[in-house]
Chain A
Amino acid sequence: MHGYATPLRFGRILDAIYPWALAGVLVLAPVGLWMALVVAPPDYQQGDAARIMYVHVPSAWMALFVYLVMASGSAAALIWRHPMAEITARAAAPLGAAFTALALLTGSIWGKPMWGTWWVWDARLTSMLILFFLYLGYLALHEAFDDPERGARAAAILALVGVVNLPIIKFSVDWWNTLHQPASILRIGGPTIHPSMLWPLLTMALVFKLYFICVLVLRIRLLLAERRLASLGVERG
């Protein structure tokens, strides 16, 4: 575990991952988009408007997944004082906030024609909005202290507290009568989405994940570099 605690070794792992992830994005993104926009058939009820799900669903999944990454990093940082875990969590947070914003935005655009409203205060939408604010709170708390160490660890505690929101988001559509549809894919009894639409969706999900890994690596490198500069006494311009 602590073998990877030095920036040097950690950096080597990052260097090994990055080209593969980048290549994956560059190859799969056009394929995924082509599958989603051209190959996939229009939905029997929603027609072509349903195509927005190829962006909406992956970004919503990533919103939750990135929070998990952030929370696990925070836990490792608090328990083992693992500095790289802390940096990973910090680097992931703005990405998670962006994915959450994207999911909310595309959902809103989807909701207007289909449901007839941009926004409704049902359990799924409200809990997603809470997730967005949790990301913002995490970032703000990080910057709230003169001592960056203190800020990082306070934010880590907040990230762990916020984990209670994840199951609420996932199961809100099953527990409550929401306007939002129940789960189509990760559900008991198998997906209720036709394979001709499921495969483009899964491809897009993979593209989103690889893209996240790419940007995460870049952001970690940035934070490591900033940290080195700070230790050398250079202020960030």
Chain B
Amino acid sequence: MRLRKRQRLLLVVLVLLLGAGSAALVLAALGEKVSLFVSPSDLVARPLEPGRSLRLGGLVEPGSVERGADGEVRFSITDGAHSVPVVYRGVLPDLFREGQGIVTQGRLEAGGVFRASEVLAKHDENYMPKEVADALKRSGHWKDGAVEAQR
């Protein structure tokens, strides 16, 4: 019976050790930010060969949206530090607007232009009536660090 008890104890210690190791690895991995998309800064830091399909995410740079006559939309995606020009032809989601966080699927073309085949809008966690949003904007408290919020 004593043997059994020592075995149990050993097992518990083993399970705890393995569990702690697992937690440590997972937490370390979370620091690496596995993500749905890459940011413009990632693209600048690690240039990819053109033609590779990827998801690019960031904010629509204010003042960069140009709508062509043939339904083609050109805009830039920025993460504050860098920006990438994007070309897209198709229907944009309701939430697509300047300063909005978006994720696009597409390919990098030669010349550094990103040709998107799909544009998805990402909305942040803030919900408020329009009047409150306007009041916040007027008083200058509008989303301190908006880029951070829409990461």
Instruction: Note whether A and B contact each other (Cβ less than 8 A).
Output: yes
Q: Among the listed stretches B6-14, B59-67, B70-78, B117-125, which one makes contact with chain A, having 4 or more residues with CB under 8 Å of it? A: B117-125
B35 near A114: Cβ-Cβ < 8 Å: no
A41 near B129: Cβ-Cβ < 8 Å: yes
Q: Among the listed stretches B43-51, B92-100, B106-114, which one makes contact with chain A, having 4 or more residues with CB under 8 Å of it? A: B92-100
Residues of A within 8 A of B123 (CB): 45-46, 114-115, 181
B125 near A114: Cβ-Cβ < 8 Å: no
* A67 shortest CB reach to chain B, Å: 21
User: A residues 72-123 with Cβ under 8 Å of B?
Assistant: 113-117, 120, 122-123
* A196 in contact (CB, < 8 A): yes
* A183 shortest CB reach to chain B, Å: 6
A45 near B36: Cβ-Cβ < 8 Å: no
A177 near B94: Cβ-Cβ < 8 Å: no
Residues of A within 8 A of B121 (CB): 114-116
**A113-B94, A116-B91, A116-B120 are contacts. A44–B132 as well, Cβ < 8 Å?**
yes
User: Which one, B92, B124, B129, contacts A116 given CB within 8 A?
Assistant: B92
B125 near A197: Cβ-Cβ < 8 Å: no
B127 near A194: Cβ-Cβ < 8 Å: yes
Convert B103-147 into 0s and 1s, putting 1 for each residue whose CB lies closer than 8 angstroms to a CB of A.
100000000000000111111111111111110000000000000
Instruction: Tell me the nearest residue of chain A to B92, going by C-beta.
Output: A116
Instruction: Tell me the nearest residue of chain A to B100, going by C-beta.
Output: A45
Residues of A within 8 A of B103 (CB): 179
B125 near A50: Cβ-Cβ < 8 Å: no
Q: Is chain A's interface secondary structure helix, strand, loop, or mixed overall?
A: loop
Instruction: Tell me the nearest residue of chain A to B128, going by C-beta.
Output: A194
A184 near B36: Cβ-Cβ < 8 Å: no
B128 near A193: Cβ-Cβ < 8 Å: yes
* B69 in contact (CB, < 8 A): no
Cα distance A117–B118 in the bound complex, in angstroms: 9
B130 near A184: Cβ-Cβ < 8 Å: no
A196 near B94: Cβ-Cβ < 8 Å: no
A179 near B118: Cβ-Cβ < 8 Å: no
Cα distance A122–B37 in the bound complex, in angstroms: 10
Residues of B within 8 A of A43 (CB): 127-130
**A43-B128, A43-B129 are contacts. A181–B92 as well, Cβ < 8 Å?**
no
User: Which one, B37, B93, B126, contacts A115 given CB within 8 A?
Assistant: B93
Residues of B within 8 A of A53 (CB): 127
B93 near A114: Cβ-Cβ < 8 Å: yes
* B30 in contact (CB, < 8 A): yes
* A11 in contact (CB, < 8 A): no
Residues of A within 8 A of B125 (CB): 181-184, 187, 192-193
User: Which one, B33, B36, B91, B128, contacts A122 given CB within 8 A?
Assistant: B36
Residues of B within 8 A of A193 (CB): 125-128
Q: A53-B127, A117-B118 are in contact. List 13 more A-B contacts (CB 8 A).
A: A41-B131, A43-B128, A44-B129, A114-B94, A114-B95, A123-B36, A176-B34, A176-B35, A177-B35, A177-B36, A179-B103, A181-B124, A194-B129
